[in-house]
Amino acid sequence: MNPAPRVTDLTSAGVAETVRLTTTGERTVRAVVDSALARIADRDGGLNAVSRLAADRARTDADRLDAARAAGEVPGPLHGVPVVIKEELAVEGLVTTFGGEGNSTPALADAEVVRRLRAAGAVVVATTTMPEFGAWPYTESSSRGYTRNPWDRTRTPGGSSGGTAAAVASGMVPVGMGGDGGGSIRIPSAHCGLFGLKPQRGRVTSAPGDHLWWALGTAGPLARSVLDSALVYDVVRGHTDVDRWRAGETGSFAAAARREPGRLRIGWTTKPVTRGVRPDPLHVRAVQDTARLLTGLGHDVREVDPLYPDPTAAFVPQFLGGIRAEADTVEHFARLERRTRQTYRLGSWVTPRVLDRALAMTETVSAKANRVFDDVDVLLTPAVAHRPAPVGVLDGKGTVRSALAAMPAIAYAALWNVAGNPAAAVPCGPAPDGLPVGVQLVGRTDDEPTLLSLSAQLEAARPWPLVAPAYATA
């Protein structure tokens, strides 16, 4: 693979470049962090990506890292990288809001993935907006208002990790943490022109909890390049004793992102998992164009019918049970938004026995979904069905109408949360309407390395913008 170009503009500098700048002394960590905080102050007003700033702690951490380097300590792999954290992950000293007003007491400790980021030298500068409990693929709520797409402020960035996506795509920070329980890393990545990998189930710890939406959810980064995502994953991945699910062993993700993938068998389809959803012609064209590009890169590419199983019976109980489990932990249930409380009530039928049946169904769905990999190494599909919608998708909608509005966004994504397979949203660049378009690559169980190698090959062959054009600088 070609090495990433060196840049000195901190707006465009990704994870790898930021680490190079801070470890060589070309920039102090304090200068990098101050620059990120300045960009947040300048850009967030029109995007509403940031929920809570951690400016004082960030500056203190930056000064500590600079002093440690000056004293001869070996810098960590993310030395001086400013990061934002989706507000469902605990950040010491900040309220874990879950996108609403249900909590009011600051967290006493970091979630394990946040602790690992800090230990590697990353600096947490803010938490980011999300729909309450991450229930919807649109970053809107009565508490947070609308979060907007950096490519077009009248459009949604998707969700539920929409605040993180908007912050990274606008150049506020090089990378940010999101979560994916039904497409919530891949959907906003596709809408905002980012690379977003949902890892194998159990790859990233959910500690201090033992699960995130039971078998559906995982945390992970949204980034502007494949290598940047891989570098962060190499820091945060790995289970703890409390985790209910544990992925199989793999090698270094960063090493995978730096090597050629070899000749692969790639199957493509534009058939959605969700019946009644029709993909936008731009997304069909993006898949077909990517299939032709992959053929030109030497892969064996052919159209397939994946014979998708229906994941509904496995997905819905875990979705509702996950929201109820999180809602049960908040300090002020009455402060949750009306739609969330309605969702909570509608999920009252999800008893422990129902969840056990849903988890058993998860294994059945996974086995059926993975049959496609008897014949191919990677599956290529649209990332989402529809183009980024105008903001206000959820206005006036209760749970049922919101769920119907979510169908086009999750039509290709949610199955792979049930199945557990790694799946990535890979940018294709801007479409003719000026907004990003992305495709989804799905891999075999525990085969993130192949997805990373193939995605990096696509990135080299078809580079995508580092930052949304309105926020890029010369």
Structure tokens at 258: 């730096």
Q: Cis peptide leading into 189, omega within 30 of 0?
A: no
CB-based contacts of 67, cutoff 8 Å, min separation 6:
none
- In this structure, are strands 378-382 and 265-268 parallel, antiparallel, or unpaired? parallel
Residue type present at position 166: A
CB-based contacts of 135, cutoff 8 Å, min separation 6:
160, 319, 323, 339, 340, 343, 402
Question: Is residue 439 a contact partner of residue 167, using CB atoms and an 8 Å limit?
Answer: no
Cα separation, 226 vs 196, in Å, equals: 8
Q: Which member of 12, 51, 86, 141 is catalytic?
A: 86
Q: Which member of 51, 143, 170, 184 is catalytic?
A: 184
Structure tokens at 183: 């497409």
Cα separation, 246 vs 129, in Å, equals: 28
- In this structure, are strands 175-180 and 82-86 parallel, antiparallel, or unpaired? parallel
Question: Is residue 101 a contact partner of residue 143, using CB atoms and an 8 Å limit?
Answer: yes
Q: Which member of 12, 143, 160, 170 is catalytic?
A: 160
Could you give the C-alpha distances from 17 to 4, 8, 474, in angstroms and in order?
8, 8, 17
Question: Is residue 107 a contact partner of residue 123, using CB atoms and an 8 Å limit?
Answer: no
Length of the chain in residues, anyone? Answer: 474
Active site residue 160: yes
Structure tokens at 300: 């064996």
Could you give the C-alpha distances from 441 to 68, 164, 232, 316, 334, in angstroms and in order?
41, 21, 19, 24, 41
User: Could you tell me which residues are beta bridge partners of residue 146?
Assistant: 140
Looking at 125-240, list the stretches that DSSP marks H as alpha helix, in order from N- to C-terminal side: 162-169, 186-192, 226-236
CB-based contacts of 423, cutoff 8 Å, min separation 6:
186, 197, 198, 413, 416, 440, 441, 442, 443, 451
Torsion of CA 159, 164, 165, 171, to 10 degrees: 160
Question: Is residue 169 a contact partner of residue 140, using CB atoms and an 8 Å limit?
Answer: no
Active site residue 453: no
Active site residue 206: no
Could you give the C-alpha distances from 25 to 65, 69, 123, in angstroms and in order?
12, 9, 17
Residues classed as catalytic? 86, 160, 184
